[in-house]
């Protein structure tokens, strides 16, 4: 009984010229790289079209022909998705409208309480306070954000206060943080004789127990480090 061979017929070998021949994409890229003038023209054309589009989207509607209002609205919606929506507001100064500062009160197991930290109400932040203040002042400013929501920076700041009070030998049961809010009055009212800052409004932001497990571990580790010194 004879066996039928299933081997495929031999394929012709590719010629060295075919192996060295670049593909269509490579040939197109070489063609593009060789034409410097065409590249510069396309770059200028794209930049001009992009600039014209952004100026068109930023121009107030009342200064454009009514026939272009619908297209401008559609363009603005599309540009917001890719963060290309530019308006003159982004270049205007965003002056503060209020002054916020904190007050932290500690409570012990006997019902006593005392203020452990109080930021000055009339501190002059100036125009570049973020680069002039120390780290503690920056943390204090950060804790006032999202007063009615969870703020992890505020939580850890209050845990640090529990640790600091423990170092002083005080048995603190819990600490409270309040935000003191004073609205900055309009310049027209200040010109009429009103004070720059309005009345103080007090808001409790957070109440943290100093007896939770994570703070107990922080205090124990801190004391063990001090004992080894």
* Torsion sign over Cα 91, 92, 93, 97: negative
Comparison of pLDDT for 54 and 204, the residue scoring more: 204
State yes or no: pLDDT of 198 exceeds 50.
Answer: yes
Give the number of C-alpha atoms closer than 13 A to the C-alpha of residue 42, restricted to the C-beta side: 7
Over the stretch 11-46, which tens digit does the pLDDT of each residue have? 555 555 555 566 777 777 788 778 888 888 888 899
Mean pLDDT throughout 51-55? 84
H or E segment and range at residue 128: none
pLDDT value of position 155: 92
Comparison of pLDDT for 92 and 226, the residue scoring more: 226
Mean pLDDT throughout 171-197? 89
CB 177 within 8 A of CB 143: yes
Give the number of C-alpha atoms closer than 13 A to the C-alpha of residue 222, restricted to the C-beta side: 16
The values of phi and psi at residue 125, to 5°, are: -70, -30
State yes or no: pLDDT of 96 exceeds 50.
Answer: yes
State yes or no: pLDDT of 7 exceeds 90.
Answer: no
State yes or no: pLDDT of 175 exceeds 50.
Answer: yes
Mean pLDDT throughout 180-191? 88
pLDDT value of position 84: 59
Burial class (CB in 10 A: 0-12, 13-18, 19+), 87: exposed
Mean pLDDT throughout 192-219? 91
Residues contacting 227, CB < 8 A, separation 6+: none
pLDDT value of position 90: 60
pLDDT value of position 1: 47
Mean pLDDT throughout 58-82? 82
State yes or no: pLDDT of 92 exceeds 90.
Answer: no
Over the stretch 112-127, which tens digit does the pLDDT of each residue have? 998 987 765 545 545 5
State yes or no: pLDDT of 209 exceeds 60.
Answer: yes
Say how far apart CA 11 and CA 20 lie, in whole Å. 19
pLDDT value of position 216: 92
Lookup: tokens for 206:
């957070």
pLDDT value of position 178: 92
């Amino acid at each position: 009984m004879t066996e039928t061979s299933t081997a495929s017929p031999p394929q012709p070998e590719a010629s060295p010229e075919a192996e060295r021949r670049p593909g269509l994409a490579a040939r197109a890229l070489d063609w593009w790289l060789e034409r410097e003038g065409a590249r510069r023209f396309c770059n200028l054309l794209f930049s001009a079209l992009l600039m014209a589009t952004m100026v068109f989207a930023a121009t107030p509607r009342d200064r454009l022909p009514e026939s272009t209002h619908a297209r401008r609205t559609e363009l603005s919606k599309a540009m917001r998705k890719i963060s290309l929506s530019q308006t003159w507001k982004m270049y205007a100064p965003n002056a503060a409208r209020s002054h916020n500062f904190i007050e932290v009160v500690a409570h012990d197991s006997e019902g006593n309480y005392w203020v452990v930290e109080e930021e000055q109400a009339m501190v002059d932040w100036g125009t570049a306070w973020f680069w002039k203040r120390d780290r503690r002042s920056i943390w204090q400013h950060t804790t006032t954000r999202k007063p009615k929501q969870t703020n992890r920076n505020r939580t850890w700041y209050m845990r640090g206060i529990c640790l600091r009070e423990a170092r002083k030998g005080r048995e603190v049961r819990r600490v409270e943080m309040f935000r003191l809010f004073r609205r900055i009055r309009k310049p027209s009212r200040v010109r009429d004789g009103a004070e720059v800052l309005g009345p103080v409004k007090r808001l409790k932001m957070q109440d943290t127990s100093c007896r939770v497990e994570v703070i107990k571990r922080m205090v124990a580790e801190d004391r063990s480090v001090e004992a080894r010194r």
